[in-house]
A and B are shown apart, each in its own frame.
Chain A
């Protein structure tokens, strides 16, 4: 029984029993691209698929689906709370935990369909080589994304429906041959690092794609997009762009679950995930905390523990 079939069966039963209003999953678009799908009717569930191009982090749509008023789509509060089901990979399931810990919606509003993930292919979510900066050669066999090569958890941490088989060995072993770019960067001198990052941030066009793709970026008005701010510039000068990227990384400290969606959607190919991974590392060293492993608030919103 394929994962696709299992997801479709579960989605159909959830929609037919009116347990959820919407199932968020993946479908194949008209040009052969795997893309997010929103299923409202039981007869539409055949659109749902599961393959190794399911790269999107669907938890980003949850706030909009479950609380349309807070996300600005509805003027008035609804009488009955909405319910939704979402298909998650192991990494996305950690985002569910972070969102729940931050009280964006109630646990009862959500049905998590957790899928055991064998890794997502590089170039997923794109059509051919039409992207502006990045060029993916048609690799055969297809390469896994860098985040999947680093990933050691294949099983979702939170789920209501579990699809797939628990792997006998937790570590897939894929990650061993990955060149650790983080270590390379940290071995550099401060001046070299400044030059590296300035050359990266220089390409930024402030399109905010990284922010839009991030399930944790949920401010109704982004601090970095306010024209009345006194200390955060909206310009595309190097200083402002650096502040934007560092500030965004800092806002995600202790919350980023490392899905690397920001880096994938970046049209200018800026290695944003390096900043996030450095902070994940730091938060784990200082606070012993890994975002999304349990439904607990991140360290920055709590008081010091020795009190």
Chain B
């Protein structure tokens, strides 16, 4: 069965703790999500997201604090403005917009976290494998690997 590869960028102040809360509450959510801890959702630049898709991710989930609860006051405001525009741009060049999702999870919302991950995984599963990455260039990354932090291990990417 096809298992989508999903990268989740989780804000360390809320969503990452929210994922912990989900774990403590023994809530079940799909193992397709690889969680990346970021200092703030505002740190997730468009280059990071494009790189994630370039590396073979099928979906990218960005989880941020609720508006007004940002640890850095307005980091998630930036995210809230940028991500939809990035989604439009990537959709314009051929990515299904559903593969990129931005949502809000606070530290206590373990249940909400599990629900969002479930929903997103099923949505991406329904879309099937992502065709964004151009495989013939994969070899060119190999010489960079010594100094590059690979987002996905190459054996998963195939």
Contact = CB atoms under 8 A, between A and B. Distances in A.
Given A238-B137, A239-B137, A304-B67, A250 B131 contact: no
Q: For this complex, into which size category does the number of interface residues on chain A fall?
A: 35 or more
A302 to B, nearest CB: 8
B134 A246 contact: no
Contacts of B90: 246
B105 to A, nearest CB: 18
B92 A247 contact: no
B93 A242 contact: yes
Contact of B85 (A190, A231, A253, A307): A253
Contact of A303 (B77, B85, B88): B77
Given A243-B54, A247-B46, A303-B77, A286 B94 contact: no
Given A243-B54, A246-B50, A279-B88, A198 B148 contact: no
A212 interface: no
A190 B128 CA distance: 14
A278 interface: yes
Contacts of A237: 134, 137, 140
A215 B50 CA distance: 25
Given A197-B93, A238-B137, A275-B92, A191 B131 contact: yes
17 contacts: A223-B47, A230-B149, A231-B48, A231-B151, A233-B141, A235-B140, A238-B136, A242-B54, A243-B50, A246-B90, A249-B89, A250-B85, A253-B89, A282-B88, A282-B89, A286-B85, A307-B67
Interface of B: 46-48, 50-51, 54, 67-68, 74, 77-78, 80-82, 84-86, 88-96, 131-134, 136-137, 140-141, 144, 147-149, 151
